[in-house]
């Protein structure tokens, strides 16, 4: 599996927040992607949009509730079309299947269109270990492959890079003259990759959807790299998570309406490719072999948990990233694994374990924007709360997000808030202490207009590091109520 750096979330976030270039790039996800998404929804009418969302959700609920049946049907129909289906329970097994395929077929060069699952599995190193040269061909993925990084965003993997950085990267890695014109950079990638498409023995793709009825793999792309990867080489291997299956060809329509609009605001992408088995005997071109690798890698655990099953409805449009106040500040790399943003904060702990990623569900203000924009109406905030609860109540201390002291403080806080007598006593104690401080020749904390200024309180300094804290008022509301308000004005 891909390297897991989720434990560094807080540290990595603090670094990202102070990076002015990331600030600029992230500001654009709101003005660019999300504005385009909103315009696309206004065009179809919000009412119709909600009907589509409900339909998509119903399809996903049904498909996942009967996943075994539809995987079986899918396998039968892929096989009937002349393809081969392989099932992998985890990342190691998926990579082994791929290794076996490239070994037995003497594969030297592979081109790959964008696949988040292959990032999850760390498929490229596994192929390279077999002596295969693997080329990412989506422009964003190609950039991060050259830079040896992970995707920053589900839809735009190299969102964090400036054109100057890309130009320097191309100069360093491809040996071409420096030119930071974006059109020229795309042309350079076209030139470098065109020959790879034509030389490749193997084309690898992910899948946006799998249609059980017909045994069809569907990919949704804009650049044309997906078409070339699945048409030019002599073998095509699709690799994807088991949750991508939908029952009928007719179910695809609503997803083709929702996904491009939610991702980039497009009515439809430049290309939608539907692949059913290898080329037929009479076809002019296309791969001689078609393989489909279906991966579990922790998904059955999510399926088994009724509180998390919903996360498997995700169609990876990235809308929840673009709207999220946390993602917009910390960016994709801070999340420490393959899937960033609100949906990543659910998928990652579920797939790699809460022990590794207990901080991610905390990385949310629970504002609910992610749920509002989700094209499948996934209740992300509910699942974040569920994971927080699991983490807080876990008997295993390594699964808990907070340490012993914060836990004790929270426990104390709970008790005080539950008891009017204790709450009132704590107010008295607090005010008494404030009076003691006020009577001192020098007030120990910086103060202004009834506020204790940030970064001046010991003990509570994590709370006040970034913001001022109001002083306790001289009277509580209960006091005022008793004295002045109870009788009415």
**Other C-beta atoms lying within 10 Å of the C-beta of residue 76:** 13
Least Cβ distance, residue 32 to another protein (angstroms): 4
Closer by beta carbon to another protein, 159 or else 370: 159
Closer by beta carbon to another protein, 43 or else 372: 43
Least Cβ distance, residue 86 to another protein (angstroms): 5
The Cα-based distances of 477 to 365, 451, 473, 483, 488 in angstroms read 28, 18, 9, 10, 15
Closer by beta carbon to another protein, 23 or else 190: 190
Q: Which residue has the tokens 């088991």?
A: 242
Q: Token digits for 322?
A: 């673009």
Closer by beta carbon to another protein, 243 or else 356: 243
Rounded Cα distance between 278 and 264, Å, is 31
Angle, CA 138 vertex, CA 271 and CA 14 arms, to 5°: 125
Are 375 and 367 in contact by the 8 Å Cβ rule? The answer is no
Coil, helix or strand at residue 374: coil
Closer by beta carbon to another protein, 136 or else 356: 136
Least Cβ distance, residue 169 to another protein (angstroms): 11
Least Cβ distance, residue 435 to another protein (angstroms): 56
- Cα torsion 362, 368, 373, 376 to 10°: value is 80
The Cα-based distances of 443 to 117, 400, 438, 449 in angstroms read 58, 38, 6, 14
Closer by beta carbon to another protein, 6 or else 111: 111
Q: Token digits for 341?
A: 């943003």
Are 251 and 245 in contact by the 8 Å Cβ rule? The answer is no
Least Cβ distance, residue 36 to another protein (angstroms): 10
Rounded Cα distance between 161 and 150, Å, is 12
Least Cβ distance, residue 457 to another protein (angstroms): 42
Are 373 and 54 in contact by the 8 Å Cβ rule? The answer is no
Closer by beta carbon to another protein, 276 or else 401: 276
Question: What sign has the CA pseudo-torsion 55, 58, 64, 69?
Answer: negative
Least Cβ distance, residue 140 to another protein (angstroms): 4
Least Cβ distance, residue 298 to another protein (angstroms): 11
Rounded Cα distance between 461 and 53, Å, is 44
Q: Which residue has the tokens 């006020």?
A: 438
Are 157 and 151 in contact by the 8 Å Cβ rule? The answer is yes
DSSP state of 30: I
**Burial classification of residue 129, based on how many CB atoms lie within 10 Å of its CB (0-12 exposed, 13-18 middle, 19 or more buried):** exposed
Least Cβ distance, residue 78 to another protein (angstroms): 10
For residue 211, the surrounding DSSP H or E stretch is: strand 209-211
Least Cβ distance, residue 347 to another protein (angstroms): 16
């Amino acid at each position: 599996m891909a390297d897991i750096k989720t434990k560094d979330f807080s540290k990595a976030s603090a670094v990202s927040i102070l990076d002015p270039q990331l600030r600029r790039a992230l500001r654009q996800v709101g003005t660019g992607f999300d504005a385009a998404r909103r315009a696309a929804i206004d065009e179809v009418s919000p009412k119709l949009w909600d009907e589509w969302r409900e339909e998509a959700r119903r399809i996903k609920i049904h498909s996942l509730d009967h996943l075994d049946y539809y995987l079986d049907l899918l396998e039968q129909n892929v096989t009937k079309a002349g393809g081969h289906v392989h099932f992998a329970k985890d990342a190691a097994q998926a990579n082994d299947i791929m290794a076996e395929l490239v070994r037995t077929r003497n594969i030297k060069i592979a081109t790959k269109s964008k696949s988040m699952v292959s990032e999850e599995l760390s498929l490229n190193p596994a192929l390279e270990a077999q002596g295969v040269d693997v080329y990412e061909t989506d422009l964003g993925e190609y950039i991060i492959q050259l830079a040896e990084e992970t995707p920053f965003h589900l839809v735009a993997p190299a969102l964090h890079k400036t054109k100057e950085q890309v130009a320097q990267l191309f100069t360093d890695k491809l040996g071409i003259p420096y030119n930071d014109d974006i059109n020229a950079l795309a042309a350079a990638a076209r030139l470098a990759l065109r020959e790879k498409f034509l030389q490749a023995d193997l084309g690898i793709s992910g899948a946006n959807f799998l249609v059980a009825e017909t045994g069809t793999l569907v990919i949704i792309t804009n650049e044309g790299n997906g078409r070339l990867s699945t048409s030019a080489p002599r073998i095509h291997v699709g690799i994807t998570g088991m949750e991508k299956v939908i029952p009928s060809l007719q179910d695809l329509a609503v997803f083709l309406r929702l996904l491009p609009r939610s991702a980039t605001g497009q009515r439809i992408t430049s290309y939608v490719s539907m692949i059913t088995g290898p080329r037929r005997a009479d076809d002019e071109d296309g791969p001689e072999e078609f393989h489909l690798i279906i991966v579990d890698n922790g998904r059955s655990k999510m399926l088994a948990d009724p509180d998390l099953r919903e996360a498997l409805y995700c169609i990876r449009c990235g809308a929840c990233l673009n709207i999220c106040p946390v993602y917009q500040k910390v960016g994709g790399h801070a999340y420490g694994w393959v899937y960033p943003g609100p949906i990543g904060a659910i998928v990652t702990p579920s797939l790699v374990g809460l022990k590794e990623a207990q901080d991610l569900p905390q990385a949310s203000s629970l504002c609910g924007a992610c749920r509002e924009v989700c094209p499948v109406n996934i209740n992300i905030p509910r699942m974040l709360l569920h994971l927080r609860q699991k983490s807080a109540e876990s008997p295993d201390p390594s699964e808990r997000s907070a340490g012993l002291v914060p836990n004790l403080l929270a426990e104390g806080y709970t008790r005080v808030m539950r008891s009017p007598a204790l709450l009132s006593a704590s107010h008295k104690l607090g005010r008494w202490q404030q009076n003691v401080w006020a009577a001192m020749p020098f007030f120990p904390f910086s103060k202004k207009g009834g506020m204790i200024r940030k970064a001046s309180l010991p003990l509570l300094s994590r709370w006040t590091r970034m913001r001022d804290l109001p002083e306790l008022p001289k009277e509580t509301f209960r006091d005022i109520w008793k004295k002045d308000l109870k009788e009415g004005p």
